[in-house]
Amino acid sequence: MLLMLAFGLVTFAVAIYAVFEARILLGFWHKARHGRAGQILPKPKKKRTNKPAPDVTVQLPIYNEGAVALDLIRAVSRLDYPRDRLHIQVLDDSTDGTSALIAPEVNRLAKLGLDIAHMCRDDREGWKAGALAAGLAVSDSEFVAMFDADFLPPPNYLRSVLVEGSAFDDPQVAFIQGRWTYSNERQNLLTRAQAILLDRHFVIQKPFQMAGERTILFNGSAGIWRRAAIDSVGGWSADTLCEDMDLSYRCALKGWIGTYEESLVCPSEIPASLFAFKLQQRRWAKGSAQCVRKLAVDIIRSKQLRHRWDDLYAALGYVLHPLLLSYTLLWPWVVLDEGVWAVTFAGQMSLTAANLIGILGFALTSLISRRGAGFRSLRDIGFALMLGASLMINNTFAFIVGCFERASVFERTPKQGKARRPSRAGFTVAKWCVTFELAFSTYLLGLAWYMIGKGFYAEAVPCVALGFGMAGAVLYQYFELPAASERAPLRRSIPARVRLALRRNTAE
């Protein structure tokens, strides 16, 4: 009885998830397409060129990212914006020698007349949020733009928004979020699958939210903030790992509006290694859970938010993985127990609906992003689904910890830059996670074999698919593991470009 009750609750939660996802797809298609003169994506607002350029500070938070930091600084130095109105802050918390690499470049740009400051702190108090807050403490600009180390803003990024654009003419607009693109999307199967996962957010979900006046979340990079909005809610807060989500909701609860400009494109790098990807996902899952713990009650009670349940669902995105893990653990025993037929059937239908909606969403994303519908796109969509499923243990653990943990360490995602291979430095994915994934895949395949032996052929399919998918992910990770000789010396944790710069500086 308890088994059926637990499975029934999980089935109900999966059904709710499927309903919300279906609403996003249908709402996007109806409002974001037909509601905008047949355009699938929002049309860029008409530009104006007669506004004076406001004062803007560009913040570049960096931590041990020598592989990409120089490219970012040089890209920002090429921004087409009046020099007397542009201020750049390199917020450098590095401890591995990256500071020595970028200092000469910052000095060179300063001598050329660029207002650029290299700001280093004695500690990493507050992590990224602390670095951003420290930069704001010495800035009085009206607007603040932010770019993570692996982003390359095009020259017209600021001008198109602050001078030619009209979004900030509305005094209630707190920030503008641009669309991420991916400079290394075609590097391997993993990067192509991630591009589909991320584009579902930028191509489907955000236009749907814009069309229905739902809360738009800042994604932490490639965006421009109105300084007054940040100050009005007490500034950046470091009590979650998703400081961007936290600030977005706190501003929305105060009546501020976030907006999304699909035409405001900024290239970025996505993890080319499964270890780096899982590290990033673990941080996002834990941070979103911390935001839910902190703000869920305020969101539900808010009178400012017009779509409170949609806004809460956006914060609960990572709850899918605990649900999927619970379903997978319970499903074989529910089938073998031969309990209430209606509950078993409802479980099958809920999971099938969720999978079909996921496939449809990724297919629509692929078509809109002009990736086509050929064999490669279908293969990438299939891998994206399996990739999401393989994160069950990694993200479930992170989400549960985030629901209870208040103090967390901000672990940066390793960057590759122009290196031929993904960097192996900085991988901190716990060995226990890989061990649990291997044990869980063995458990699923063993149960599938037993179910097939009992004649439950169709019911064994989810266990077979997830078991082989997770086993494949474990093998993929095994071949990515750094050898012991690569992990031991401290100098190996410093990217080659940084070590070369250090040798040159020492020689000089």
The pLDDT value given to residue 12: 86
Kindly tell me if the per-residue pLDDT of 34 is higher than 80: no
What's the whole-number average pLDDT of the chain? 82
- pTM of the full structure: 0.85
Place of tokens 């020099």: 83
Average pLDDT over residues 301-314: 88
Per residue in 72-97, pLDDT tens?
Answer: 999 999 999 999 999 999 999 988 88
| Span of 317-331, 370-384, 391-405 with lowest mean pLDDT | 370-384
Q: Which domains are present in the chain?
A: 2-25+318-480 (no CATH), 53-274 (3.90.550.10)
Regarding predicted confidence, which is higher, 72 or 364?
Answer: 72
pLDDT at position 489: 35
Res. 135: pLDDT tops 90:
yes
C-alpha 304/C-alpha 182 separation (Å) is 35
Look at residue 335 and tell me whether its pLDDT is greater than 90. Answer: no
The per-residue pLDDT for 506 is 42
pLDDT higher for 373 or 93?
93
Nearest to 182 by CA among 63, 265, 73: 265
Residues marked active site are found at: 93, 244
DSSP output for 379-441 = HHHHHHHHHHHHTHHHHHHHHHHHHH------PPPP--TT-SS---TT----HHHHHHHHHHH
What contacts 27, CB < 8 A, 6 or more positions away? 208, 211, 212
| pLDDT score of 100 | 92
CA distance 101 to 68: 11
CA distance 301 to 312: 11
Strand order of the β-sheet with 173-182 is 116-120, 86-92, 56-62, 143-146, 223-226, 173-182, 257-268
Distance CA 301, CA 502 (A): 54
163-209 tens-digit pLDDT: 998 889 999 999 999 999 999 988 888 888 888 889 888 988 898 88
User: pLDDT at residue 324 above 60?
Assistant: yes
